[in-house]
Structure 1
């Protein structure tokens, strides 16, 4: 919008007129600013800039203290499915007390981890740090807290950069697990963690710059990147980064899961310039029929779709812990419909010809527990397909990227 300013009025001899002119200009400017702000807030998926809480809650990334207490109580009582999920976690390679961290100064990751210089090591050490942090909280065995600290200290004292084509996604995946671990250790461990400040500096200086500005690749990239950015922002208590990441997350979520209320075409991310139907259809993997619950990557494969839906659930869970319940907004509705739509076909129903040409690539992964618990167990939404898939897959393990042990932490968890 262009605002034409009048030539500067003649001064001195017309004080009242000049003041009136200035007041008129200021009023016009105020109107323009108000209109621009209103337009920005009305933009698809936009979120006001004050999403961050006045005071951050800790531990507050994906799991809260109340959720951890519930989990510990159930495991110690031998109740199912939590006891079985705990046994699964403790029997995994990620809970091993003999694990040796493998940090690198530069992690280089290409497409599909080719090349793979530290990619798998970084992601799995981050999951191991989270796993041993959970093990500490449930068992109160200091050895697990010390192992988690060892893993975090090794990487925070070594890593300097992420490079190659998959650097933003790799950073998002590892950066999603690190703050979960760090939140539990820093805010619940009764021992000491002398290098917690160095770890925070690593997250701020190495991870956050790589992810905070988002991505125009397939939607699961930006969703995972914003999950990491929001988790890191909680740990380092950076309200500005939290707000920026949350705004991008809201816009991307609206552009990732389609609802009939969106209109004839899905919402888009403005920076991607998807300004024609043909461009949108191409970006949606060639899918030209849009049905509630369809995602931008459904017709690519369910595995990548699962990454996106999982990240949405994780951010919504963190946001709820921080005081803003996104499950009660369009985020929750998109997540509910996205999980239900994918679960229907993941369970084996044959897709119609109008969906991905009548053929889908299944493999959603262990990604339904968090959203199902929030939307069904806490809010009471009927989610029959998601329920069937969730219960079938229990206990949900890890996808070895950024998802781990969610039956343990979130199954029927009321906190």
Structure 2
């Protein structure tokens, strides 16, 4: 593990502060033709899952059974839409926040159940939930509105893509598309200078929505923000003495950067901007990075090679401590708040199984946590959808 010393001269400090995370973007990141279903899971992945579950193979069958035992898979679920979802900090107040997130997750769960079983009851129930919300919702308000919109807006397109492109009929699909375009996309597309998990989740939503809407302009904008945010969220030693920053962040001094990185002054491979805050929020950021990269792969412009080293290091670093490695005194004052969550499966599958990268700690944690369930926010059933999935 290499450490970057912060005892640098004035010239080096100026140089370090002047480097922002602004990778050269292609003229267009959007594909000439979008692939459907193509948000987080593609048809080849879904077919793989279906074949494994129907064969009773593990770990997919256990993951499927876990999903089907969840209340999110219930055919008697009653959706709880609201015209205005109001979410304050940490969802306080919580006026529809939990209901919206869980209804979106239920729609996705039911869509997966439909694909595996071909039982139309699951598809029609997913449609009922999506229709209930598209008939009512007009806005998200209060301080957590951008994040709430990002969380729910990440999940709705996953469900909608599966239903729209694999089920026979969805009469109100255009109303649902209008909901995504007018209620969700404007809240997330311009990003955020809050903690990095906010913007990463918002870009996950923007990318997924753009795929569903076949909106090339919004897709390009979201991918550009994503490509700038990832290097500003996960540090690697080649960044230099200080972490990268995003354009417009206002983080123009060492003190501001250190404060933004939760007071951490020693930067090492795989440390994230929120590691010293807690692993739960760090997991949100890592999960969103994996999800966006997975969608770009399905859409034909794979961003995994660009983000692979940072993602590998972040997964490995957090996994090591989640597994119980003693925390050194230089890291977060010698104390970490653990709780990474079920967020490693997608990135591990992409980097280890598809790209052949050794990931000892991540592999151990991923296999230990199987079957990965849901964080009841925006991550769900990823052992089922991504374990050893060649896609």
Q: Give secondary structure in 2 for the equivalent of 1:268.
A: coil
Following superposition, the deviation at residue 326 of structure 1 comes to: 1.1
Distance 1:326 1:384 in 2: 23
Following superposition, the deviation at residue 49 of structure 1 comes to: 3.7
CA deviation digits over 1:261-300, x for unaligned, max 9?
1111110012111111111000000000000000000000
Corresponding residue of 1:212: 189
1:196 maps to which of 147, 168, 173? 173
Instruction: Spell out the pairing of 1:315-334 with structure 2 (5 A cutoff).
Output: 315-329=292-306, 331-334=307-310
Runs of 4+ in 1 over 6 A off after TM superposition: none
Corresponding residue of 1:150: 128
Corresponding residue of 1:139: 117
Instruction: Spell out the pairing of 1:225-244 with structure 2 (5 A cutoff).
Output: 225-244=202-221
TM-score under structure 2 normalisation? 0.94
1:288 lines up with 2:265 in the alignment: yes
1:69 maps to which of 47, 59, 71? 47
Following superposition, the deviation at residue 46 of structure 1 comes to: 4.5
Distance 2:353 2:204 in 1: 23
Distance 1:81 1:286 in 2: 40
Q: Give secondary structure in 1 for the equivalent of 2:267.
A: coil
Corresponding residue of 1:357: 333
Q: Give secondary structure in 1 for the equivalent of 2:207.
A: helix
Q: Give secondary structure in 2 for the equivalent of 1:254.
A: helix
1:98 maps to which of 60, 76, 82? 76
Distance 1:51 1:57 in 2: 14
CA deviation digits over 1:331-361, x for unaligned, max 9?
1211111000000000000111111011100
2:160 maps to which of 173, 182, 202? 182
Distance 1:113 1:342 in 2: 26
Q: Contact (CA 8 Å) 1:129, 1:147: kept in 2 or not?
A: yes
Number of aligned pairs? 373
Corresponding residue of 1:17: none
Which ranges in structure 2 are unaligned for 5 or more consecutive residues? 1-19
1:314 lines up with 2:279 in the alignment: no
Q: Contact (CA 8 Å) 1:285, 1:299: kept in 2 or not?
A: yes
1:382 maps to which of 358, 372, 375? 358
1:167 lines up with 2:145 in the alignment: yes
Q: Give secondary structure in 2 for the equivalent of 1:271.
A: coil
Following superposition, the deviation at residue 327 of structure 1 comes to: 1.1
Which ranges in structure 1 are unaligned for 5 or more consecutive residues? 1-41
Distance 2:297 2:327 in 1: 34
Q: Which has the higher contact order (CA 8 A, sep 6+)?
A: 2
Q: Contact (CA 8 Å) 1:109, 1:117: kept in 2 or not?
A: yes
Q: Contact (CA 8 Å) 2:59, 2:371: kept in 1 or not?
A: yes
Corresponding residue of 1:269: 246
Corresponding residue of 1:21: none
TM-score under structure 1 normalisation? 0.89
Following superposition, the deviation at residue 45 of structure 1 comes to: 3.5
Corresponding residue of 2:11: none
Following superposition, the deviation at residue 367 of structure 1 comes to: 0.1
CA deviation digits over 1:239-263, x for unaligned, max 9?
0000000000110111000010111
Corresponding residue of 2:324: 348
Q: Give secondary structure in 2 for the equivalent of 1:272.
A: coil
Following superposition, the deviation at residue 43 of structure 1 comes to: 5.6
Q: Give secondary structure in 2 for the equivalent of 1:108.
A: strand
